[in-house]
Amino acid sequence: MQVEIGSAPSRAAATKKHDHRSTCRVVGAAAFLVASAVQSPAVADEGGVSFWLPGQYGSFAAIAPSVGWTLPMQAYGYSGRVGGNSPTERGRALAFGLDTDFTALFVAPTYAPDTTILGARPAFSLAFFPGWNEVSADVSAGTARRQRSDSVAGFGDLYPTAQLFWDGGLHNWMAYLTGNIPVGSYDPNRLANLGLGHAAIDAGGAYTYLNSSTGWEFSVTAGLTYNLENPDTNYTSGIDFHADFGLSRSLTEQFFVGLVGYAYVQLTPDNGQPALLGSFESQTFAIGPQIGYTFQVEDRAIYTNLRGYVEFAAKDRPQGGSIFLTTSIPISPPPVRR
Protein backbone atom coordinates (compact mmCIF):
# COMPACT_ATOMS: atom_id res chain seq x y z
CA MET A 1 0.00 0.00 0.00
CA GLN A 2 2.64 2.52 0.95
CA VAL A 3 5.29 3.63 -1.47
CA GLU A 4 8.50 3.11 0.41
CA ILE A 5 10.86 0.19 -0.17
CA GLY A 6 13.61 -0.48 2.33
CA SER A 7 14.64 1.78 5.18
CA ALA A 8 14.63 5.05 3.25
CA PRO A 9 12.06 6.59 0.87
CA SER A 10 12.73 5.80 -2.76
CA ARG A 11 12.53 8.26 -5.65
CA ALA A 12 9.32 6.58 -6.74
CA ALA A 13 7.90 7.15 -3.28
CA ALA A 14 8.75 10.83 -3.46
CA THR A 15 6.97 11.21 -6.79
CA LYS A 16 3.91 9.09 -5.98
CA LYS A 17 2.76 10.45 -2.64
CA HIS A 18 -0.42 11.81 -4.19
CA ASP A 19 -1.22 8.40 -5.69
CA HIS A 20 -0.49 6.80 -2.36
CA ARG A 21 -2.93 9.05 -0.53
CA SER A 22 -5.60 8.12 -3.10
CA THR A 23 -4.85 4.46 -2.56
CA CYS A 24 -5.15 4.92 1.20
CA ARG A 25 -8.60 6.38 0.71
CA VAL A 26 -9.59 3.15 -1.02
CA VAL A 27 -8.16 1.29 1.96
CA GLY A 28 -10.27 3.48 4.21
CA ALA A 29 -13.41 2.42 2.37
CA ALA A 30 -12.79 -1.14 3.53
CA ALA A 31 -13.03 0.07 7.10
CA PHE A 32 -16.71 0.81 6.50
CA LEU A 33 -17.44 -2.84 6.15
CA VAL A 34 -15.60 -3.63 9.30
CA ALA A 35 -17.28 -0.74 11.07
CA SER A 36 -20.70 -1.95 10.06
CA ALA A 37 -20.33 -5.68 10.59
CA VAL A 38 -21.15 -5.72 14.23
CA GLN A 39 -22.38 -9.00 15.66
CA SER A 40 -19.94 -11.51 17.05
CA PRO A 41 -20.57 -15.16 17.99
CA ALA A 42 -18.50 -14.51 21.01
CA VAL A 43 -20.10 -14.02 25.53
CA ALA A 44 -21.24 -11.54 29.24
CA ASP A 45 -23.67 -9.59 27.32
CA GLU A 46 -26.66 -11.85 26.88
CA GLY A 47 -25.50 -15.31 25.97
CA GLY A 48 -21.98 -13.95 25.65
CA VAL A 49 -22.92 -12.39 22.27
CA SER A 50 -21.90 -8.74 21.89
CA PHE A 51 -23.12 -6.16 19.39
CA TRP A 52 -19.56 -5.01 18.60
CA LEU A 53 -17.48 -7.46 16.62
CA PRO A 54 -13.98 -7.27 18.17
CA GLY A 55 -11.36 -6.70 15.49
CA GLN A 56 -13.75 -5.20 12.96
CA TYR A 57 -11.46 -2.18 12.57
CA GLY A 58 -7.80 -2.55 11.69
CA SER A 59 -5.24 -0.42 9.85
CA PHE A 60 -6.19 2.81 8.00
CA ALA A 61 -9.34 3.17 10.14
CA ALA A 62 -9.35 6.98 10.00
CA ILE A 63 -8.53 7.34 6.28
CA ALA A 64 -11.53 8.65 4.32
CA PRO A 65 -12.85 6.57 1.40
CA SER A 66 -13.02 7.90 -2.14
CA VAL A 67 -16.02 9.99 -3.13
CA GLY A 68 -18.92 7.95 -4.51
CA TRP A 69 -20.05 4.37 -4.04
CA THR A 70 -17.85 1.57 -2.68
CA LEU A 71 -18.73 -2.08 -2.03
CA PRO A 72 -16.75 -3.54 0.89
CA MET A 73 -17.26 -7.27 1.53
CA GLN A 74 -15.81 -9.34 4.31
CA ALA A 75 -15.66 -13.09 4.85
CA TYR A 76 -15.45 -13.81 8.59
CA GLY A 77 -14.95 -16.97 10.62
CA TYR A 78 -14.83 -17.53 14.39
CA SER A 79 -14.45 -20.59 16.60
CA GLY A 80 -14.43 -20.45 20.41
CA ARG A 81 -15.25 -22.27 23.63
CA VAL A 82 -16.35 -21.55 27.19
CA GLY A 83 -15.01 -23.83 29.95
CA GLY A 84 -17.27 -26.61 31.17
CA ASN A 85 -17.70 -25.10 34.63
CA SER A 86 -18.54 -21.61 33.37
CA PRO A 87 -22.29 -21.07 32.80
CA THR A 88 -23.74 -18.73 30.17
CA GLU A 89 -27.37 -17.91 29.45
CA ARG A 90 -28.42 -18.69 25.90
CA GLY A 91 -31.96 -17.48 25.32
CA ARG A 92 -33.99 -19.30 27.94
CA ALA A 93 -31.38 -22.00 28.68
CA LEU A 94 -28.38 -22.12 31.02
CA ALA A 95 -25.44 -23.61 29.09
CA PHE A 96 -22.13 -25.11 30.28
CA GLY A 97 -19.06 -25.95 28.20
CA LEU A 98 -20.35 -24.01 25.21
CA ASP A 99 -18.70 -24.47 21.79
CA THR A 100 -19.52 -22.04 18.98
CA ASP A 101 -18.62 -21.79 15.29
CA PHE A 102 -19.72 -18.85 13.16
CA THR A 103 -19.14 -17.92 9.52
CA ALA A 104 -20.59 -14.99 7.58
CA LEU A 105 -20.16 -12.78 4.53
CA PHE A 106 -20.69 -9.15 5.54
CA VAL A 107 -21.69 -6.78 2.73
CA ALA A 108 -21.75 -3.01 3.36
CA PRO A 109 -22.68 -0.75 0.41
CA THR A 110 -21.11 2.63 1.22
CA TYR A 111 -21.66 6.14 -0.10
CA ALA A 112 -19.31 9.11 0.44
CA PRO A 113 -20.78 12.38 -0.88
CA ASP A 114 -18.55 15.09 -2.31
CA THR A 115 -19.10 17.55 0.54
CA THR A 116 -17.87 18.37 4.04
CA ILE A 117 -19.55 18.54 7.45
CA LEU A 118 -17.72 20.40 10.21
CA GLY A 119 -14.67 20.30 7.96
CA ALA A 120 -14.84 16.51 7.65
CA ARG A 121 -15.67 14.12 4.82
CA PRO A 122 -18.89 12.17 5.61
CA ALA A 123 -19.72 8.61 4.60
CA PHE A 124 -22.72 6.34 5.16
CA SER A 125 -23.23 2.58 4.96
CA LEU A 126 -25.77 -0.15 5.69
CA ALA A 127 -24.37 -3.63 6.33
CA PHE A 128 -26.08 -7.01 6.20
CA PHE A 129 -24.89 -10.61 6.06
CA PRO A 130 -25.86 -14.17 5.23
CA GLY A 131 -24.30 -16.50 7.78
CA TRP A 132 -24.24 -19.81 9.64
CA ASN A 133 -23.91 -20.47 13.37
CA GLU A 134 -23.59 -23.75 15.25
CA VAL A 135 -23.55 -24.01 19.06
CA SER A 136 -23.28 -27.07 21.30
CA ALA A 137 -23.35 -27.17 25.11
CA ASP A 138 -24.51 -29.04 28.19
CA VAL A 139 -27.88 -27.49 29.01
CA SER A 140 -29.16 -27.39 32.56
CA ALA A 141 -32.55 -29.05 33.12
CA GLY A 142 -33.31 -28.87 36.85
CA THR A 143 -30.46 -30.68 38.61
CA ALA A 144 -29.42 -32.60 35.49
CA ARG A 145 -27.56 -31.59 32.33
CA ARG A 146 -28.05 -32.84 28.80
CA GLN A 147 -25.98 -32.37 25.68
CA ARG A 148 -27.64 -30.16 23.08
CA SER A 149 -26.60 -28.78 19.71
CA ASP A 150 -28.33 -26.16 17.52
CA SER A 151 -27.46 -24.63 14.17
CA VAL A 152 -29.00 -21.94 12.01
CA ALA A 153 -28.42 -20.50 8.53
CA GLY A 154 -29.95 -17.30 7.21
CA PHE A 155 -29.54 -13.54 7.51
CA GLY A 156 -28.43 -11.39 10.43
CA ASP A 157 -29.41 -7.95 11.65
CA LEU A 158 -28.92 -4.63 9.82
CA TYR A 159 -26.15 -2.23 10.84
CA PRO A 160 -26.37 1.41 9.67
CA THR A 161 -23.21 3.51 10.15
CA ALA A 162 -22.40 7.21 9.72
CA GLN A 163 -18.80 8.49 9.83
CA LEU A 164 -16.87 11.76 9.59
CA PHE A 165 -13.22 11.86 8.47
CA TRP A 166 -10.72 14.68 9.10
CA ASP A 167 -7.59 14.56 6.91
CA GLY A 168 -4.60 16.04 8.76
CA GLY A 169 -1.69 14.74 6.69
CA LEU A 170 0.28 12.47 9.01
CA HIS A 171 -2.49 12.58 11.63
CA ASN A 172 -6.03 11.57 10.63
CA TRP A 173 -9.21 11.38 12.70
CA MET A 174 -12.61 9.72 12.37
CA ALA A 175 -15.85 9.79 14.39
CA TYR A 176 -18.63 7.24 13.93
CA LEU A 177 -22.15 6.39 15.07
CA THR A 178 -23.61 2.96 14.42
CA GLY A 179 -26.35 0.70 15.75
CA ASN A 180 -28.21 -2.57 15.50
CA ILE A 181 -31.62 -3.05 13.84
CA PRO A 182 -32.80 -6.46 15.17
CA VAL A 183 -34.38 -8.05 12.09
CA GLY A 184 -32.10 -11.11 11.75
CA SER A 185 -32.85 -14.77 12.42
CA TYR A 186 -33.41 -15.01 16.19
CA ASP A 187 -35.27 -17.42 18.48
CA PRO A 188 -34.81 -17.19 22.29
CA ASN A 189 -35.34 -20.95 22.53
CA ARG A 190 -32.33 -21.71 20.30
CA LEU A 191 -28.69 -21.94 21.37
CA ALA A 192 -27.57 -20.67 17.95
CA ASN A 193 -28.76 -17.40 16.41
CA LEU A 194 -27.77 -14.91 13.72
CA GLY A 195 -29.74 -11.95 15.10
CA LEU A 196 -28.94 -10.24 18.38
CA GLY A 197 -32.53 -10.07 19.63
CA HIS A 198 -32.33 -6.43 20.71
CA ALA A 199 -31.33 -2.97 19.49
CA ALA A 200 -28.03 -1.27 20.36
CA ILE A 201 -26.22 2.04 19.81
CA ASP A 202 -22.45 2.41 19.50
CA ALA A 203 -20.37 5.59 19.19
CA GLY A 204 -16.64 6.24 19.06
CA GLY A 205 -13.72 7.41 16.98
CA ALA A 206 -10.42 6.48 15.40
CA TYR A 207 -6.92 7.88 14.89
CA THR A 208 -4.51 6.94 12.09
CA TYR A 209 -0.86 7.93 11.81
CA LEU A 210 0.16 7.51 8.16
CA ASN A 211 3.64 8.38 6.93
CA SER A 212 3.93 7.91 3.17
CA SER A 213 7.68 8.57 3.23
CA THR A 214 8.66 5.91 5.78
CA GLY A 215 5.85 3.45 5.02
CA TRP A 216 4.69 3.20 8.65
CA GLU A 217 1.03 3.31 9.68
CA PHE A 218 -0.71 2.93 13.04
CA SER A 219 -4.44 3.02 13.81
CA VAL A 220 -6.56 2.74 16.95
CA THR A 221 -10.37 2.73 17.08
CA ALA A 222 -12.30 2.92 20.35
CA GLY A 223 -15.94 3.22 21.34
CA LEU A 224 -18.78 2.39 23.74
CA THR A 225 -21.86 0.21 23.19
CA TYR A 226 -25.20 0.87 24.90
CA ASN A 227 -27.57 -2.11 24.68
CA LEU A 228 -31.37 -1.93 24.83
CA GLU A 229 -33.50 -4.59 26.50
CA ASN A 230 -34.27 -7.84 24.70
CA PRO A 231 -38.10 -7.92 24.69
CA ASP A 232 -38.19 -11.72 24.36
CA THR A 233 -36.09 -12.41 27.46
CA ASN A 234 -36.29 -9.13 29.47
CA TYR A 235 -32.48 -9.17 29.52
CA THR A 236 -30.34 -6.02 29.17
CA SER A 237 -26.63 -6.31 28.44
CA GLY A 238 -24.24 -3.88 30.13
CA ILE A 239 -22.21 -1.05 28.61
CA ASP A 240 -19.19 -2.30 26.64
CA PHE A 241 -15.84 -0.65 25.86
CA HIS A 242 -13.85 -1.82 22.85
CA ALA A 243 -10.58 -0.85 21.18
CA ASP A 244 -9.15 -2.21 17.90
CA PHE A 245 -5.53 -1.71 16.82
CA GLY A 246 -3.59 -1.98 13.57
CA LEU A 247 0.13 -1.51 12.80
CA SER A 248 1.51 -1.89 9.27
CA ARG A 249 4.63 -1.36 7.20
CA SER A 250 4.77 -1.24 3.40
CA LEU A 251 7.13 -3.54 1.54
CA THR A 252 6.04 -2.27 -1.90
CA GLU A 253 3.57 0.33 -3.12
CA GLN A 254 0.84 -2.34 -3.20
CA PHE A 255 1.82 -4.75 -0.40
CA PHE A 256 2.05 -4.33 3.38
CA VAL A 257 2.41 -6.52 6.45
CA GLY A 258 1.72 -5.85 10.12
CA LEU A 259 0.05 -6.70 13.39
CA VAL A 260 -3.51 -6.31 14.68
CA GLY A 261 -5.15 -6.64 18.06
CA TYR A 262 -8.18 -5.78 20.14
CA ALA A 263 -9.39 -5.28 23.70
CA TYR A 264 -13.01 -5.73 24.76
CA VAL A 265 -14.14 -5.02 28.34
CA GLN A 266 -17.67 -4.80 29.76
CA LEU A 267 -17.92 -1.76 32.06
CA THR A 268 -21.30 -2.38 33.73
CA PRO A 269 -23.02 -5.67 34.63
CA ASP A 270 -25.95 -7.15 32.78
CA ASN A 271 -29.50 -6.87 34.08
CA GLY A 272 -31.91 -9.81 34.03
CA GLN A 273 -29.45 -12.70 34.27
CA PRO A 274 -29.97 -15.66 36.67
CA ALA A 275 -28.43 -15.19 40.14
CA LEU A 276 -26.01 -18.05 39.39
CA LEU A 277 -24.23 -15.83 36.83
CA GLY A 278 -23.44 -13.04 39.33
CA SER A 279 -22.52 -9.67 37.80
CA PHE A 280 -21.53 -11.38 34.51
CA GLU A 281 -19.10 -8.82 33.04
CA SER A 282 -17.15 -10.10 30.04
CA GLN A 283 -13.74 -9.30 28.62
CA THR A 284 -11.37 -10.59 25.96
CA PHE A 285 -8.09 -9.59 24.32
CA ALA A 286 -6.45 -10.73 21.07
CA ILE A 287 -3.43 -10.25 18.83
CA GLY A 288 -2.44 -11.53 15.41
CA PRO A 289 -0.80 -10.90 11.99
CA GLN A 290 -2.12 -9.12 8.91
CA ILE A 291 -1.20 -8.70 5.23
CA GLY A 292 -2.71 -6.41 2.61
CA TYR A 293 -2.49 -6.00 -1.15
CA THR A 294 -4.06 -3.61 -3.67
CA PHE A 295 -4.88 -4.93 -7.14
CA GLN A 296 -5.08 -2.48 -10.03
CA VAL A 297 -7.85 -3.42 -12.49
CA GLU A 298 -7.86 -0.84 -15.30
CA ASP A 299 -8.51 2.45 -13.46
CA ARG A 300 -9.87 0.81 -10.28
CA ALA A 301 -7.83 -0.04 -7.17
CA ILE A 302 -9.26 -3.09 -5.34
CA TYR A 303 -8.06 -3.41 -1.76
CA THR A 304 -7.70 -6.78 0.02
CA ASN A 305 -6.70 -7.52 3.60
CA LEU A 306 -6.27 -10.80 5.49
CA ARG A 307 -5.86 -10.80 9.27
CA GLY A 308 -6.23 -13.30 12.09
CA TYR A 309 -6.64 -13.05 15.85
CA VAL A 310 -5.86 -15.37 18.76
CA GLU A 311 -7.75 -14.52 21.95
CA PHE A 312 -6.47 -14.66 25.52
CA ALA A 313 -7.61 -13.67 29.04
CA ALA A 314 -11.27 -14.11 28.11
CA LYS A 315 -13.90 -13.94 30.85
CA ASP A 316 -17.63 -14.75 30.66
CA ARG A 317 -17.47 -15.33 26.91
CA PRO A 318 -15.89 -17.88 24.53
CA GLN A 319 -12.16 -17.82 23.90
CA GLY A 320 -10.84 -18.82 20.49
CA GLY A 321 -9.71 -17.30 17.22
CA SER A 322 -11.04 -15.48 14.17
CA ILE A 323 -10.13 -14.70 10.56
CA PHE A 324 -11.15 -11.66 8.49
CA LEU A 325 -10.77 -11.50 4.70
CA THR A 326 -11.80 -8.05 3.44
CA THR A 327 -12.20 -6.88 -0.15
CA SER A 328 -13.21 -3.32 -1.06
CA ILE A 329 -14.38 -2.65 -4.62
CA PRO A 330 -14.91 0.93 -5.89
CA ILE A 331 -18.19 1.21 -7.81
CA SER A 332 -18.14 4.88 -8.82
CA PRO A 333 -15.50 5.86 -11.41
CA PRO A 334 -12.38 7.49 -9.99
CA PRO A 335 -12.47 11.29 -9.89
CA VAL A 336 -10.95 13.17 -12.81
CA ARG A 337 -7.74 14.96 -11.76
CA ARG A 338 -7.40 18.60 -12.69
Q: Can you name the residues that pair with 328 across neighbouring β-strands?
A: 72, 303
How do the domains of the chain map onto residue ranges? 11-128+151-330
CA distance 26 to 200: 29
Is this prediction's pTM over 0.95? Answer: no
Residue 239 has a pLDDT of: 93
Overall fold of domain 11-128+151-330: Porin (2.40.160)
Residue 44: closest CA among 317, 263, 319: 317
Q: Can you name the residues that pair with 245 across neighbouring β-strands?
A: 220, 261
pLDDT in tens, the chain (338 residues): 322 223 233 223 333 444 555 555 445 544 444 444 444 444 456 666 789 999 999 999 999 988 999 999 999 999 999 876 666 666 566 777 788 999 999 999 999 999 999 999 999 999 999 999 999 888 876 566 788 888 999 999 999 999 999 998 899 999 999 999 999 999 988 888 999 999 999 999 999 999 989 999 999 999 999 999 999 888 888 899 999 999 999 999 899 999 999 999 999 988 876 655 556 678 999 999 999 999 988 888 899 999 999 999 998 888 999 999 999 999 987 766 55
CA distance 69 to 274: 46
Phi then psi for residue 132, to 5 deg, are -140, 135
Helix residue ranges, H only, the chain: 11-15, 17-36
Amino acid 204 reads: G
Residue 3: closest CA among 220, 300, 210: 210
Residue 236: closest CA among 244, 245, 226: 226
Contact by Cβ (8 Å): 33, 75: no
Residue 2 has a pLDDT of: 29
